[in-house]
Structure 1
Amino acid sequence: MTGLNRRTFLGAAGAAGLGTILGSQLANAAVPCGPRGASAVFISSYTKTGHGLDVAHRDAGASALKVDRTIPGINNASWFDVSADRKTLYVTNEDDEGGQISALSLADPTKPRLLNKKSSKGDAPTHLSVHSSQKYVLAANYNSGSVVVLPILAGGKLGDVVDLAQHKGTERDPHAHQVVNDPTGKWVVSVDLGADSVYVYKLNVSTGKLTLNQQLKLPSGSGPRHLTFHPSGKYAYILGELRAEVTVARWNSTTGKLTAGQVVPAVPAGTPGDQFPGDVQASSDGRFVYASVRGSDTLATFTVADGGKSLKLVSNVPVGGVYPRHVTLDPTENWFYVSCDTSGTLSWLPRDPATGLPGAVAGSLSIPQVNSVRFL
């Protein structure tokens, strides 16, 4: 199978039935600022029709996001991470050819200032994360199927790539979709949609070199996209994009090995049409897991049992837009923010902390080709 263009792959699946709720707000809704505050909210979008990088805020006691400004020169922004000292923002520039990673100063979080850009040594970098050592940024090149390591220099700037790990597919071209630390910070984990695999690496913090420790192969055609860890650090939830399902995997942080277990559907049996899950998140109390699902355009809720070992799908609610790429829990975990690429809408839904269930869409913001949201 030939390479899949990141922004055109399956993009027409949700084009029909476009309907949005623009600018409405849930009556008497209240959302206090979280302990880490919401002084700035970063919103990414593709720049064919979108803005790149927007900075927004929430007024005290409100759920609605209000965009304050667009930061110039940040093309095709798709994913964010922030340094531990909260002084630097890192952004993927997801160009189909010749991808880059941008570093921005957060001296004034409401007005990020570009420090520099560096090549990702690949095409369409779709995800990044700051390594726990705070010495490197890790990035996943979707079109190229590779993971790269960029050193963090003095003042937060990025250096040139010091290592590149190339994935290999058997039935399809590799498409690295995510790269994160495990909860202990000892291991680097990358999810590859094309290779139907999750790769576990050891990073030499002195040299920035990656050494492959495990390739967990999932069933052919599963197309894993993202994963998230249970707060206990003992389990990971691997979301399939080409099969609408979540695989529960036991995580051994001593050996750096994943063991696949239960597989749970992300939509009820008999749901019509094609379904392509987008993003997966876990609540901080470890009681719930959430996934956005493109096709039915819903937010799936799973309850967690057996200390993280098992999931049960309990709800799928409409997200008020078409093709929900990513879902973000705000710092209070009282609100979901869902980025719907095809409809160009960023919607928010209340969350009941007792039941874990999302309510009806409370409002939305119009942002063409919106991708993801990051609260500072």
Structure 2
Amino acid sequence: MKKIVMGRFQFKMNFEYTVLLLAMSILVGCKTEVKKNSSSEVLSENRQTNNEKVVELLVGTFAEGDDQGIYQVHFNPETGELSNSHRVAIENKPGYLYLSKDGNRVYSSNGTKPGSVSAFQWNKDKTALDKVSNLSSMGDGACYVGVSPEEHLLAAANYSSGSIVLYPLDENGGMIDDPQGIQHTGSGPHPNQNSAHAHCVQFSQNGKFLYAVDLGIDQILTYPINSENKLGKAQVALQLDPGDGPRHLVFHPTENKVFIINELSSTVVSATVDEENGVFTKIDKKSTLPDDYQEPNACADIHISKDGKFLYASNRGHNSIAVYSVSESGDLKLLTIEPVQGDWPRNFALSPDGNFLLVANQKSDNITVFKVDRQTGLLKYTGNQVSISQPVCLKF
């Protein structure tokens, strides 16, 4: 009887042990499953982190036919690689772009005859730009578009007709069809200066003035903006030398200084800015070319580093980027002239972190990437590039 009891006890122990093992197995399985889920979450987080490393670059083009429009390219700010080039909007000659501060709106100047300005907004999944409006630029060959610091005014420059236009924007960034068009007059000594050619419009950093850079008359005009958000009578902010052909300007990031690139004389000019009356005072002027270069050249674009220490200017013809150091007084020193690895660099851009410089080469249909030495300002070609038909504007 005792033996039988012991046998039953043994059976009971074996059964309980088996149940215990089974429970432990289930528990381990659950823990393993939890661990798998955790791994998936980590992988998801890694993907999100990797996605954050991709910076979106918009490209305005002069492409024609089936290729025309605005493109988007993914840029890796760690490696400088470009990938996933795709069209996000169909538009005719969107030669210059402006992106709203919140990233939801994109404006383009359209270099057509007659010219126009278009406003786009991203669709819900941010895969395409939907055109919400298209208004006349009140001239021909719109080549530049800019928005005021408060984003309540939009201005555009018309190269062919030598005029500018100002549009009010509503609270959502929509263009209000109440334009103010102004025609420039005059000429210059260069064959390309037979009439006025407005090439750039920039709002002052305090929002009090609109500057119009006119290649045809060698002048930068400043328009005061009144309380009704209209442009007042223009005055000459800066008279350039005859035949300079000013094209673009860029403001110093922290000081009251401005830098102008001259298309026709292949030079850059630095100047001080009077914030009260909008007038510039010239500081320095330097060539963008080597002393022994005698072939045709036409300068295009100009940008400055975030710390204001280095200035960059593009040469079309010599196909290069001129690099300058900027002194505290605003004097310029040419450091080097870097080949762009392409043909006809119409526009270029510094990456948001300032570590790379990207060049849109219109005639060679490519965008090339250069590493920026933040200490010296010098450029080094990374070998990274992407093919896009006639890229002419880059905006991060």
TM-score by length of 1: 0.85
The one-character-per-residue Cα deviations of 1:2-54 (angstroms, maximum 9, x if unpaired) are xxxxxxxxxxxxxxxxxxxxxxxxxxxxxxx9xx9754211111132643201
> Which SS does the other structure have where 1:42 is aligned?
strand
Matches of residues 84-103 of structure 1 in structure 2 within 5 Å? Answer: 84-95=101-112, 97-103=113-119
Q: Residue 180 of structure 2 aligns with which residue?
A: 163
Cα displacement (A) at 1:314: 0.8
Q: Residue 392 of structure 2 aligns with which residue?
A: 371
Q: 1:280 aligns with which of 302, 325, 340?
A: 302
Indicate how the Cα distance of structure 1 residues 109 and 282 shifts in structure 2: closer, same or farther if over 3 A, else same. farther
Q: Residue 238 of structure 2 aligns with which residue?
A: 216
Cα displacement (A) at 1:240: 0.5
One-letter code aligned to 2:72: V
Q: 2:180 aligned with 1:180, yes or no?
A: no
Q: 2:273 aligned with 1:251, yes or no?
A: yes
Q: Residue 57 of structure 2 aligns with which residue?
A: 41
Q: Is the 8 A contact 1:119 1:161 kept in 2?
A: no
2-structure distance, mates of 1:253, 1:108: 42
Q: Report the more deviating stretch, 111-120 or 58-67.
A: 58-67
Q: 2:338 aligned with 1:321, yes or no?
A: no
> Which SS does the other structure have where 2:392 is aligned?
strand
Report the RMSD for the aligned CA atoms in angstroms. Answer: 2.1
Q: Residue 370 of structure 2 aligns with which residue?
A: 349
Q: Is the 8 A contact 2:77 2:351 kept in 1?
A: no
Matches of residues 46-61 of structure 1 in structure 2 within 5 Å? Answer: 46-48=62-64, 50-59=67-76, 61=78
Q: Which has the larger radius of gyration?
A: 2
Matches of residues 76-225 of structure 1 in structure 2 within 5 Å? Answer: 76-95=93-112, 97-106=113-122, 108-171=125-188, 172-225=194-247
TM-score by length of 2: 0.81
Q: Is the 8 A contact 1:234 1:308 kept in 2?
A: no
1-structure distance, mates of 2:175, 2:277: 31
Q: 2:262 aligned with 1:262, yes or no?
A: no
Residue identity over aligned pairs, in percent, reads: 29
Matches of residues 25-40 of structure 1 in structure 2 within 5 Å? Answer: 39-40=55-56
Q: Is the 8 A contact 2:344 2:363 kept in 1?
A: yes
Indicate how the Cα distance of structure 1 residues 197 and 108 shifts in structure 2: closer, same or farther if over 3 A, else same. farther
Indicate how the Cα distance of structure 1 residues 80 and 65 shifts in structure 2: closer, same or farther if over 3 A, else same. same
2-structure distance, mates of 1:185, 1:207: 10
- Structure 1: unaligned runs, 5 residues or longer: 1-32
Q: Is the 8 A contact 2:324 2:334 kept in 1?
A: yes
One-letter code aligned to 2:350: L
1-structure distance, mates of 2:61, 2:391: 4
One-letter code aligned to 1:179: V
Cα displacement (A) at 1:131: 1.1
Q: 1:242 aligns with which of 249, 264, 289?
A: 264
User: More helix per residue: 1 or 2?
Assistant: 2
Q: Is the 8 A contact 1:89 1:105 kept in 2?
A: yes
Q: Is the 8 A contact 2:93 2:111 kept in 1?
A: yes
Q: Is the 8 A contact 1:228 1:236 kept in 2?
A: yes
Q: 1:63 aligns with which of 57, 70, 80?
A: 80
> Which SS does the other structure have where 1:155 is aligned?
coil
> Which SS does the other structure have where 1:40 is aligned?
strand
1-structure distance, mates of 2:85, 2:138: 33
> Which SS does the other structure have where 1:184 is aligned?
coil
One-letter code aligned to 1:162: P
Q: Is the 8 A contact 1:319 1:361 kept in 2?
A: no
Indicate how the Cα distance of structure 1 residues 68 and 323 shifts in structure 2: closer, same or farther if over 3 A, else same. closer
One-letter code aligned to 2:228: S
2-structure distance, mates of 1:133, 1:211: 22
Cα displacement (A) at 1:179: 0.5
Indicate how the Cα distance of structure 1 residues 233 and 196 shifts in structure 2: closer, same or farther if over 3 A, else same. same
Cα displacement (A) at 1:186: 1.8
Q: Residue 354 of structure 2 aligns with which residue?
A: 333
Q: Is the 8 A contact 1:133 1:205 kept in 2?
A: no
One-letter code aligned to 2:343: V
Cα displacement (A) at 1:313: 0.6
Paired residues, what number?
340
Cα displacement (A) at 1:204: 2.3
Q: Is the 8 A contact 1:203 1:211 kept in 2?
A: no
Cα displacement (A) at 1:109: 4.1
2-structure distance, mates of 1:183, 1:89: 20
Cα displacement (A) at 1:108: 4.6
One-letter code aligned to 1:44: G
